[in-house]
Amino acid sequence: MTRHFATINGKPVTGGPSFAVVNPATGGEAGRAPNMGAAELDAAVAAAQAAFPEWSTRSDEALQAACAAVTAKIEEHAEELARLVTLEQGKPLNGLGSRWEIGGAIAWAGYTTGLSLPIKVLQDNEQGRVELHRKPLGVVGSITPWNFPLMIAIWHILPALRTGNTVVIKPSPHTPLSTLRLVEIINAVLPPGVVNVVTGDDKAFNIGAAMSAHPDIRKIVFTGSCATGQKIMQSAAPTMKRLTLEMGGNDAGIVLPDVDPEKIAEGLFWGAFINNGQTCAAMKRLYVHESVHDAVCDALAAFARKIEVGDGMDEKSILGPIQNRMQFDKVLSLVADAKKRGRVLLGGEPGEGLFFPPTIITGLSNGDALVDEEQFGPALPVICYRDVEEAIAMANDSSNGLGGSVWSSDVEAARKLAGKMQCGSVWINKHGAIQPNAPFGGVKASGLGVEFAEEGLQEYTDVQVIFA
Ligand code: NAD
């Protein structure tokens, strides 16, 4: 099987122990990744620290040109990276799968390249001139999850580079291969040490935990579960690291009585089932008014029946397997519990290996585990409601607050309700449609800070005010 190499200080790190990465579609080996420890992490951080003085003092134009070169490199290797993502992550090449993910990575990289944080003049009069400068932090540690390994890597790396920081990235042990290759590819256009990658299986040594406590890392940008985000916050405290934490969600969608069920079925389906539901801002609970409940359920199930599930390498597949055994078991147990309480409209029975068909279960309510917990898989609970205020209250009855959506023919009425939802993003007649020019982040337990746009870029800098 192909062994993939880490890149530290611009050089491939060969030798040393490795671990197997599973192809979730077949159960076979997708490749092997280095199983690194404290020494390799220290070497990567030292390389990033050594690269920082030159990189951080480059002109804004030079940083922008370097980011454009990074974007071009990803574009050049798009198909290779897409295949690697499908191999290790399971999502199909087609549909909203790996080619779409790499397309997103390129779009984000390009947009971030074009952003800048110019000096802001706060005052300029006879009393004096006051300027706000944005300064790079130093070494940024990036810790990524397994659901969108390549796109999230770009969400972390590009803003760090654009603002003059250097990077050590650590992908999930479930999906390290595409990040290893990405870092190798972009090192061709970067000075040694500007972007380094370390990988490990999280067994004997947890690299992410060590990064969170590392004295020479100035910021952690993390995407992953709430439990891990909380641990990072604790271990980052003694070194006062800057943190951007994008964590779990349990997004609610609220369907108002005035919808046309046929018209919204496709949007509802992809809002919930994109990447098999393994998406932070997927719709994970659907509240439907009683007057349209049955019609919406029928239209949604009819659309879902047309979706081809299979090995992502097959060009016909539109959804792949669940990414890993732990997640599969979680979905299986939540569906088993929901089946006792509600009515299965579609799916409900596991397929071969890690395959699980799109599953829709109605007749559930808040208090049922499939509604209250983040399933992070292809199983959507539908809750029937009578009163819109009651639906809002149920939607807000969650410790999470990542995204939410309102579905209605009356956009103005939907916008009013959107303001009552306790979450970082609210979509109207769609769900989860993030874009690089709009800040994205969670409220409540879903996170800290935002990514994307100017607001996201600012999080990779310290403010310095100069009074003259
Ligand atoms: P996870 O928290 O288990 O792992 C994420 C990363 O953290 C991995 O790289 C892992 O190796 C690392 N890690 C493990 N223990 C650590 C520790 N003690 N300290 C530091 N790092 C550690 O999450 P996951 O299972 O990979 O991803 C699924 C979760 O991520 C879901 O809850 C999902 O909602 C969330 N997610 C959120 C967003 C978002 O933008 N809000 C995006 C994608 C996924």
Amino acid making up residue 5: F
By residue range, what is the domain housing residue 116? 6-247+443-467
Nearest alpha-carbon partner for 425 in 249, 265, 221: 249
Using the mean position of ligand 1's atoms as its centre, give its distance from the Cα of residue 240 in Å.
Answer: 21
Task: Kindly report, residue by residue over 272-315, the tens digit of the pLDDT.
Answer: 999 999 999 999 999 999 999 999 999 999 999 999 999 999 99
Residue 93 pLDDT? 98
Nearest CA owner, ligand 1 atom 8: 172
For the sheet with 242-246, list strands across it: 195-197, 166-170, 139-143, 219-223, 242-246, 447-448
Q: Are residues 243 and 262 in the same domain?
A: no
Q: What is the pLDDT, as a whole number, of residue 82?
A: 98
Task: Write the DSSP symbol of residue 323.
Answer: S
Neighbouring-strand partners of residue 167: 140, 195
Specify the residue for token string 């939607």.
395
Q: Which residue's alpha carbon is at the smallest distance from atom 26 of ligand 1?
A: 145
In a domain, 433, yes or no: no
CA distance linking residue 325 with residue 147, whole number of Å: 14
Q: Is residue 438 domain-resident?
A: no
Q: Which atom of ligand 1 is nearest to the CA of 224?
A: 30
CATH number where 183 lies: 3.40.605.10
The ligand 1 atom at the shortest distance from the C-alpha of residue 173 is: 11
Interatomic CA distance for residues 239 and 231, integer angstroms: 14
| Residue 2 confidence (pLDDT) | 87
Ligand 1 atom 18: residue of nearest CA = 209
Give me the residues of the chain with pLDDT under 70, please: 1
Same-domain status, 225 and 261: no
Q: Whose CA is nearest to atom 13 of ligand 1?
A: 208
Per-residue pLDDT at 422 = 98
State in Å: Cα 441 to ligand 1 middle.
15
- Which atom of ligand 1 is closest in space to residue 326's alpha carbon? 25
Q: How far is the CA of 45 from the centre of ligand 1 (A)?
A: 21
| Together in a domain, 262 and 242 | no
Residue 463 burial (C-beta neighbours within 10 Å; 0-12, 13-18, 19+): exposed
Counting the structural domains of the chain, the total is: 2
Q: Based on the domain organization, do 71 and 220 belong to the same domain?
A: yes
- Closest approach atom of ligand 1 to CA 170: 9
Please give the pLDDT value at position 312: 98
CATH number at residue 345: 3.40.309.10
Residue 213: predicted pLDDT: 98
* Active-site residue set: 246, 280
Residue 72: enclosing H or E segment and its boundaries?
helix 60-76
pLDDT at 1: 63
Both 237 and 324 in a single domain?
no
Report d(CA 68, CA 81) in Å as an integer: 18
Ligand 1 pocket by C-beta < 6 Å: which residues? 143-147, 170, 172-173, 202, 206, 208-209, 212, 223-225, 228, 231-232, 246-249, 280, 374, 376, 402, 442, 447
